[in-house]
Amino acid sequence: MSNEFDLDKILDDIINEAKRTSRTTVSRTTKIKRATGQLASIEARKRNDPLYQRMVKYRDLFYKYREMLHRKYSPRVRSKARR
């Protein structure tokens, strides 16, 4: 298995993952939806899909701008957050 993803193994791992310690339970359909999203991204990355490249670009920009806003406004709102 050279550099290829075993999608069936990943899907099985996600569906059969251990339950978390939170009080909420995750249903099988929710796990399948989560696995579908993750596997779609993996497949798009493997195929070098332009939509995947665009998604990554804008996700990175989102985090960049969020960090800029935090730096700009954190001194002003820090005192409000402590109340």
- Per residue of the chain (83 residues), give pLDDT as tens: 444 667 777 777 777 776 566 667 778 888 888 888 888 998 999 999 999 999 999 999 999 999 999 999 988 888 777 77
**Do 37 and 55 share a domain, yes or no?**
no
State how many domains the chain has.
2
pTM exceeding 0.75:
no
**Do 40 and 64 share a domain, yes or no?**
no
State which residues form the domain around 31: 1-17+25-47
**Do 59 and 73 share a domain, yes or no?**
yes
Query: What are the percentages of helix, strand and coil residues in the chain, rounded to 5?
Result: 75, 0, 25
**Do 56 and 74 share a domain, yes or no?**
yes
- Cα–Cα distance for residue pair 64/66, rounded to 1 Å: 5
**Do 66 and 41 share a domain, yes or no?**
no
